[in-house]
Amino acid sequence: MPTRAFVALTIVLWPMVSVFADIPAGLKPGDRNVPAELDRSPVSLAVFAQGTRALTANQTSGTVSLIDIPARKVLDEIVTGEKPAGVAVSPDGKEAVVTHWWGYDAAILKIENDRLSIAGRVDVGAEPRGVIYDPAGKSAYVAVGVFNEVVKIDTGGKSVTKRVQVGREPRNLALTPDGKTLVVTNARSQNVSLVDLAMFSRTRDIDISGDNLRQVAISPDGKYAILANMKDRRFATTKGNIDIGWVIGQRVTRVPLGGDDYYETLSLDPQGLAVGDVHGVAISHDGRHLAVSAGGTHEILLFRQDLSPLPWRRNGSRDLLAPELTRDTERLRRVKVGGRPLELAFLPDGKTLVAANYFANSLQVLDVDSGVLAAEIPLGGQAKPDLVRRGEMYFHDAERSFNQWYSCATCHTDSHTNGLDFDTMNDGWHDLSTRRERSRKKVPTMRRVVHTGPWTWHGWQKSLDEAMVESFTKSMQGVQPTDDDVKSILAYIATLDYPKNPYRKADGSLTEAAQRGKAVFESAKAACNTCHGGPEFTDGKVHDVGLDEPGSRYKGHNPPSLRGAYDKDPYLHDRRSKTLLDVLKGPHSPENVTGLGELSDQELDDLVEYVKSL
C-alpha cells in the first residue's frame, strides 16, 4: 500500500479520544440517572464488614451499585468509569475503590449515608482488574493485567506509591488473614505470585499448570490459596476426547502458602454433563463451605469441606470429577442460578453466599445449607435482551457445546484470546494416528474480527457466517446453530474493538521511538506494510513466510492484524515466540521473510515500539 494513503488512514483512525470514550452514550462519571433498561452486567462485588451492604462493579453500564442485602434493594448507583472490573470496600465501610478495565484507572468512592460519590481517580496502568484493601484501610492493591504488575495506591493521596512485577496477566487478588501476603492469580503464565507486603516484593511464583486463572480465596487458617481455573488438556476437539475430559477441564486448585512447592486440584466435570467456565471462589469463615461459580453452565457448585476431606490430587489431576463426589449431594451440590455467575463472597454468618451475576443483571443471594436461591436483587437491565446481548449470551454459553464442556469464551476469553492453542480440526488435516500436535493454532482475538477476513490462520475461510457455524459444530461439537444464533453472535462480535493503546502518548500520537519504528516498518528493507498494510495491518491475502509444518495441505498463512499486538502473546500460529522481539529477531525476522536485509538492534527496538503502538 502506498505510504501516503497509509498515513492518511492512520490519522483518520486515531482521533483525539475523549477521556471517557467507553461509558454508555449520554452518561458521564458522577451521574446517577442511569436508565433502568441499561444492562448492568455485574462482574465483581465487595461485602461490607457487617455483611448487610454490598457493592457491585457493573461492566456494561460503567456503574457501581450500593446494595442493602437484607432489604433486597439498591440504595444508590453512580457512573464511575470505563468498564468497571473490580471493586473493594475499606474495612470501616466509608470508602471504596473501583478499577476500570478500559479506563486504566481506579476511582476512589466515598460512602456516606448510603450514598456514593467520586472522591478522586488514580491512573494505574493498562487493564486493571482485581483490587483489595490493605487491612489498615489507607491503601489498596490493584492487579494491572497488561503491565503484569500489582500497584499499591494511597487512597487518600490518590497516587500510586509502589509497583511490583508479577506473572503474565494478573487478574485477582487475595490477602492472607495475617495481612502479610498478597496472592495474585496470573491468567496467562499459569501461576500464582506471592507478594510480601512489608517489603512489597514478589517472593515466590507457584506453578499450577492450569489456564484462565480467576478468583482466589484464602482458607480461614491461612494455609492455602484456593482458585478457579481451566485446564487445556491438548487433545483435538473430537466428541470422544471432549467427553473423557481430554480437551478442556474445569478445576479448583489449592496451593500451600507455607513454602512447599506443589499444588493440588479437584477436577469438576462429570462425564456427560460438564461444568463450564469456572470463575468465582469463596470459602465460609468457618471453613465448612467452599463455593465455585461456573458462568458457562450458569451454576454455583457448593462443596462441604467438613464432612470428610475433599479428594484433592497433588501435581496433576483426574480427567473427571472424583467418583466419590459424583453422587454425594451432601458434599457437592450443583445449583442452577441462570445467567453468568462470576465473583462470589460469603456473608459473615457463614451460610449466605452472594454472587455477581452478569447476564442476570443481579446480585444473587444463596442459602448454602439448603442450596436455595433465596433472593435475586435486580440491578437494572433490558427486560428482553436485544440481538447484540443475545449474541453475547450465546458466546458465553457452554450449554451450546457437546455435553456442555465449554463456551466460545473459554478459548476466546474476554472475547479476545487466552493465548493458548487448540486443535479445533478446522484445517481439515487433523490426524490422531500420526502427530496430534501439528494442527494446533493459537486462539485468534474476536476484536475487529469482522474487518479481518479471510479467516483462520491459513486464510481459507472466506465467510464469517460459515466460520461461526464451524465454531459451533467443530470447535464445540454442538448442534447446528440457527440463523438467529449466527446473526446475533455476528452482531455481538461486530461491537468488539480494542481498548485504547497504552503505548501511545496521552493525545494518541506516537512516541519518538515508535515514529522511528514506523519508518523501519515501511522501509524497503523490512517491508512489513506489504503484508501488514491497510487500516487493519493485514492485506487479506495468504503468504508463505516459511512457517508451514511439513506436509501441511495449506501453503502459507494470512497475516494476522497487528492491532493490539502487544497483548496477543505468545506469537505466531504455533505460539513459538514469547515476545515481539523474539518474533522479529527469530522466525519472522526481515531477513527470513523478505531476505532483503538485516536490521540493527536499534532498528529492531524501534520497530517493536511501533508494533506495540498499533
By the rule CB under 6 A, 412 interacts with ligand HEC: yes
- Amino acid at residue number 161: T
Bond preceding residue 454 cis, omega within 30 of 0: yes
Interface residue with ligand HEC, options 456, 488, 501, 613 (CB under 6 A): 456
* Cβ(265)–Cβ(313) below 8 Å: yes
**Ramachandran bin of 350, using left for φ above 0, alpha for ψ from -120 to 50, beta for the remaining angles:** left
In this complex, which beta carbon is closest to ligand HEC, that of residue 185 or of residue 561?
561
By the rule CB under 6 A, 496 interacts with ligand HEC: no
By the rule CB under 6 A, 468 interacts with ligand HEC: yes
Judged by CB under 6 A, the chain residues 223 through 282 that form the site for ligand HEC are 237
Interface residue with ligand HEC, options 147, 472, 492, 566 (CB under 6 A): 472
By the rule CB under 6 A, 607 interacts with ligand HEC: yes
Q: Which residues fall within 8 angstroms of residue 311, CB to CB, at 6 or more apart?
A: 266, 322, 324, 325
Interface residue with ligand HEC, options 208, 325, 528, 614 (CB under 6 A): 528
By the rule CB under 6 A, 353 interacts with ligand HEC: no
- Amino acid at residue number 541: K
By the rule CB under 6 A, 283 interacts with ligand HEC: no
The region of 116-124, 127-135, 354-362, 578-586 touching ligand HEC under the rule CB under 6 A is 578-586
Interface residue with ligand HEC, options 190, 293, 317, 471 (CB under 6 A): 471
Judged by CB under 6 A, the chain residues 586 through 605 that form the site for ligand HEC are 588, 590, 593-594
By the rule CB under 6 A, 565 interacts with ligand HEC: yes
By the rule CB under 6 A, 78 interacts with ligand HEC: no
The region of 167-175, 182-190, 300-308, 526-534 touching ligand HEC under the rule CB under 6 A is 526-534
The region of 8-16, 278-286, 338-346, 447-455 touching ligand HEC under the rule CB under 6 A is 447-455
In this complex, which beta carbon is closest to ligand HEC, that of residue 200 or of residue 498?
498
Work out the burial of residue 260: count CB atoms within 10 Å of its CB; fewer than 13 is exposed, 13-18 middle, 19 or more buried.
Answer: exposed
CA distance 340 to 521: 43
By the rule CB under 6 A, 573 interacts with ligand HEC: yes
Q: Smallest distance, Å, CB 441 to ligand HEC?
A: 4
For the beta carbon of residue 72, count every other beta carbon within 10 angstroms.
14
By the rule CB under 6 A, 404 interacts with ligand HEC: no
For the beta carbon of residue 168, count every other beta carbon within 10 angstroms.
17
* Cβ(377)–Cβ(34) below 8 Å: no
Q: What is the CA angle 74-76-81, rounded to 5?
A: 115
By the rule CB under 6 A, 580 interacts with ligand HEC: yes
Work out the burial of residue 534: count CB atoms within 10 Å of its CB; fewer than 13 is exposed, 13-18 middle, 19 or more buried.
Answer: middle
Question: Binding-site residue total for ligand HEC (CB under 6 A)?
Answer: 52
CA distance 597 to 606: 16
By the rule CB under 6 A, 296 interacts with ligand HEC: no
Q: Smallest distance, Å, CB 511 to ligand HEC?
A: 17
Q: Smallest distance, Å, CB 14 to ligand HEC?
A: 19
In 3D space, the residue among 464, 452, 460 whose CA is nearest the CA of residue 563 turns out to be 452
Judged by CB under 6 A, the chain residues 159 through 218 that form the site for ligand HEC are none
- Locate 359 and state its grid cell: 447476564
Q: Smallest distance, Å, CB 422 to ligand HEC?
A: 4
In 3D space, the residue among 379, 382, 335, 383 whose CA is nearest the CA of residue 54 turns out to be 379
Q: Smallest distance, Å, CB 477 to ligand HEC?
A: 10
- Locate 504 and state its grid cell: 501511545
In 3D space, the residue among 182, 222, 226 whose CA is nearest the CA of residue 204 turns out to be 182
CA distance 313 to 322: 10
By the rule CB under 6 A, 411 interacts with ligand HEC: yes
By the rule CB under 6 A, 532 interacts with ligand HEC: yes
CA dihedral 136, 139, 143, 148 (to 10 degrees): -110
Where along the sequence are the contacts to ligand HEC (CB under 6 A)?
237, 406, 408, 410-412, 422, 424, 426-427, 441, 443-444, 449, 452, 455-457, 467-468, 471-472, 475-476, 489, 526-528, 530-532, 543, 545, 547, 557, 559-560, 562, 565, 568, 571-573, 580, 583-584, 588, 590, 593-594, 607, 611
